[in-house]
Amino acid sequence: MPDARALMQQYPSIGILPRSFLLGSDFSTFAAELKGYLEIIRWTWYSFKAYAVGGATQILYFDQNIGQATNRLADTNMQVGGQLSGGEAMLVRNVRVVPIPANADAFVVSGPAVALTQWYNVLLNNCWLEASVGDKKYIQGAPLTLFPSGMGLGAIYTANSVVAAGLVGPTNAAVVQNGHPSNMALWETDPPMYVPSTRTITVSLNWITAQAVTTAGRLGVMLDGWRIRLVQ
């Protein structure tokens, strides 16, 4: 078992890593692709894709770079589609699935707001997440609510629509949050999942049967943890 104090002296910035990681493997061997001085920063990889009206049986994530994504940095912060660029690695500490239904389905002036009932099926009905690094599968879990987003609006309000003097009053609302909006409510990878430099990463959301929604929305995956990179 490696000496944690010796690792701290050799790599001063790894003090943010969980003790279980420091004592679980030889870090210098574990990070063999990153020789020299390393810096470790808090980082979140994210990838958002359109969720079609007809749904899907599989959506792949992290396969696009910023320039390829429809909404650029609003969709992803991947510099290279499908992998990290050279000279850096990632320790993934938690996985988040983030639903973003269309505003037209979440807030309705007249009639019911359908986002909650329809996206309930998207997140819970015969669905699962898979994550692989290279050709090895590291995460497989169901349903998608196993991977809460840990964030959100914090409160949901709903009321009957009111029209008076030409003004539209409160609307019917149905806002979707995947889990309690708190960073205490997260699915954690312990020990962290290590993604080496230039290694392919594949994350997919899967459904046995496509789950339809009234209006197309967006659905995303976040890989949250620490980015390790060489200081240039």
Given a cut of 50, whether residue 85 has pLDDT beyond it is yes
Which pLDDT tens digit goes with each residue over 103-150? 889 887 777 888 889 999 999 999 999 999 998 999 999 999 999 998
Euclidean distance between CA atoms 57 and 55, whole angstroms = 7
Euclidean distance between CA atoms 96 and 224, whole angstroms = 8
DSSP string, 91-127: EEEEEEEEEE--HHHHEESSS---HHHHHHHHHHSSE
Euclidean distance between CA atoms 10 and 2, whole angstroms = 12
Which pLDDT tens digit goes with each residue over 34-68? 455 677 888 999 999 999 999 999 999 999 999 99
Measured CA distances, 185 to 159, 174, 178, 203, 220 (Å): 28, 21, 10, 21, 17
Query: Both tokens of residue 67?
Result: 């320039």
Long-range contacts of 41-44 (CB under 8 A, 24+ apart): 41/226, 41/227, 41/229, 42/16, 42/226, 42/227, 43/90, 43/224, 43/225, 43/226, 43/227, 44/77, 44/222, 44/223, 44/224, 44/225
Measured CA distances, 95 to 92, 117, 149, 181, 182 (Å): 8, 24, 8, 14, 14
Measured CA distances, 232 to 12, 16, 50, 163 (Å): 17, 21, 36, 61
Euclidean distance between CA atoms 215 and 76, whole angstroms = 22
Question: Would the CA dihedral through 98, 133, 192, 72 be positive or negative?
Answer: negative
Question: Would the CA dihedral through 54, 55, 59, 64 be positive or negative?
Answer: positive
Euclidean distance between CA atoms 16 and 38, whole angstroms = 13
Instruction: For 14, list phi and psi in degrees, rounded to 5.
Output: -85, 10
Query: Both tokens of residue 81?
Result: 């589609």
Helix (H) or strand (E) holding 155: none
Which pLDDT tens digit goes with each residue over 10-42? 555 555 555 555 555 555 544 444 455 677 888
DSSP one-letter code for 74: G
Chain-wide mean pLDDT for the chain?
82
What is the pLDDT confidence band of residue 231, given thresholds at 50, 70 and 90? low
DSSP one-letter code for 67: T
AA letter at 230: L
